[in-house]
Amino acid sequence: MSSVALAGNGHPKGLYLLFFVEMWERFSYYGMRALLVLYMTKELMFSTEKAGTVYGWYTGLVYLTPLLGGYIADRYLGARKSILVGGTLMALGHFSMAFSSMFFFYAALTLLIFGNGFFKPNISTTVGKLYGKDDPRRDGGFTIFYMGINLGAFFSPLVCGTLGERVGWHFGFAAAGVGMVAGLLLYMWGQKRYLGDAGLRPEYQPTKDHHQTPLTTEEKHRIAVIFILVFFVLFFWMSFEQAGSSLTLFAEHSTDRMIPLLGWEFPTSWFQSVNPFLIFVMAPLFSMVWVRMAKANIEPSTPMKMAWGLAFLAVSFVIMVFAGLIVDKTMGRVGLLWLLGSYFFATVGELCLSPIGLSLVTKLSPARFGSLLMGTWFVSSFLANLVGGLLAGNYDAMNKGTFFMIPVATSGGAALLLFLIVKPLRKWMHGVH
């Protein structure tokens, strides 16, 4: 920590470098994601089922490869070099999407999948390494970092989505590539200046007899908590990630997107900016609320916050059930307030679960397994995106009201179960808050 420079507000300067690098990387990812299902169904003429399957495998695998990328970083490259490798692969992937060819389409997805595997777990781990083990600023630092993620995610559908839907698909994909290159160049310029030795070397350092000190009982319990929460987070992202698939199709075919005063229909992909906009607005409020509750000694534990996150997500899909029932009955379109209301409650749920989850993994993980366990955390998103994509493939084959009952049941059921086991999970965390 001594080699890391501090900004005026007490957070390391490196946090703000990583904030902007992650902002550009998420700009590229969400810009491409906002167009992907629309591109497959309208340009490549994939069926909804095939588009949902490809979308599920792609968005799933980008969260599975962090397990491999985290392992390689811990053992061989270190987090910093892994970020550089990942950013380069992703830039190549985005620009490959700008070519009209099925070969380049699948090559692009492959490059993005493996690039994300190197990038995603290691930039999050590097944020954690900017702080000491018991540094109280860590949660606040991750909330700031999470705002960077969502700032990029807000602008990307507006830029990439508009270019893709109104100018040409490949212009939208190329814009995503430009964003990734911007992040990569920024990282190359600032890493030595602002990151000190954080993430510079592999964490795994074998002793002379090539054996590490065995894990303590406390460490085993904390790792077990990570795996248990991974299971519950799976149910959250399975439903939440419908935003890029079934909810995008609902916005395209079943939502009135006309602006009456202008007589203009805004692009479907703009709905992808609602969630990150709400996060950017509400994240500081949530951060303030957690701090005040902590001072009053009434702050919920991380597992309790996550249970509430799942409950709010279930509420968001209850709204979509009613919207779907209206569409089923009238065979027409509903107002945009239905989707906006659903996104609002889903965002509240996300703020209760996602940023504090990243922080918790860095606090519960033994240092030598930091990137690997961060990769394990993202495995939940692999399974969730894969199952969620396969679910979205059935969107056209089911009544809309019935379809949206599925995420209500899965996220609501997971919330109830997590509420029941909060106390034993807190015990196994052994004082980590």
- Length of the chain, in residues: 433
Collect all residues with Cβ–Cβ distance below 8 Å to 27 and sequence separation of at least 6: 152, 153, 155, 156, 159, 160, 176, 179, 180, 183
Least confident residue range of 203-217, 348-362, 374-388: 203-217
Q: Count of CB atoms within 10 A of residue 189's CB?
A: 11
Residue type, 141: G
SS3 at position 312? helix
Rounded to 10 degrees, the C-alpha dihedral 29/35/37/43 comes to -140
Rounded to an integer, what distance in angstroms lies between the CA atom of residue 215 and that of residue 197? 25
Q: Report pLDDT for 64.
A: 87
Rounded to an integer, what distance in angstroms lies between the CA atom of residue 259 and that of residue 104? 37
pLDDT in tens, 15-54: 999 999 999 999 999 999 889 999 999 999 999 899 989 9
Q: Report pLDDT for 189.
A: 95
pLDDT in tens, 279-294: 888 888 887 888 788 8
Q: Confirm if 176 and 31 have CB atoms less than 8 A apart.
A: yes
Collect all residues with Cβ–Cβ distance below 8 Å to 34 and sequence separation of at least 6: 156, 157, 160, 161, 164, 244, 248, 269, 272
DSSP assigned state of 191: H
Rounded to an integer, what distance in angstroms lies between the CA atom of residue 298 and that of residue 293? 5
SS3 at position 258? strand
Q: Count of CB atoms within 10 A of residue 16's CB?
A: 17
Task: Give the pTM.
Answer: 0.80
Q: Report pLDDT for 207.
A: 57
Collect all residues with Cβ–Cβ distance below 8 Å to 2 and sequence separation of at least 6: none
Local confidence band at 2 (pLDDT 50, 70, 90 cut-offs): very low
Q: Where are the alpha helices (DSSP H) in 241-336?
A: 246-254, 274-295, 302-330
Nearest C-alpha neighbor of 152 from the set 62, 46, 279: 279
User: Which tokens hold the place of 25?
Assistant: 């990387």
Q: Report pLDDT for 44.
A: 93
Q: Give, in order, the Cα–Cα distances in Å from 335 to each of 320, 327, 352, 359.
A: 12, 11, 28, 38
Q: Report pLDDT for 1.
A: 40
Residue type, 143: T
User: Which tokens hold the place of 249?
Assistant: 């199709």
Collect all residues with Cβ–Cβ distance below 8 Å to 373 and sequence separation of at least 6: 70, 223, 226, 361, 364, 365
pLDDT in tens, 140-183: 787 788 788 888 999 999 999 999 999 999 999 999 999 999 99
Nearest C-alpha neighbor of 199 from the set 42, 101, 84: 84
Q: Confirm if 358 and 29 have CB atoms less than 8 A apart.
A: no
Rounded to an integer, what distance in angstroms lies between the CA atom of residue 65 and that of residue 248? 26
Beta bridge partners of 6: 12
Q: Residue 212 pLDDT more than 70?
A: no
For every residue of 24-59, which 3-state class applies, written as one string? Answer: HHHHHHHHHHHHHHHHHHHCCCCCHHHHHHHHHHHH
Burial class of residue 298, CB neighbours in 10 A (0-12, 13-18, 19+) = exposed
Question: Comparing 59 with 205, which gets the higher pLDDT?
Answer: 59
Local confidence band at 9 (pLDDT 50, 70, 90 cut-offs): low
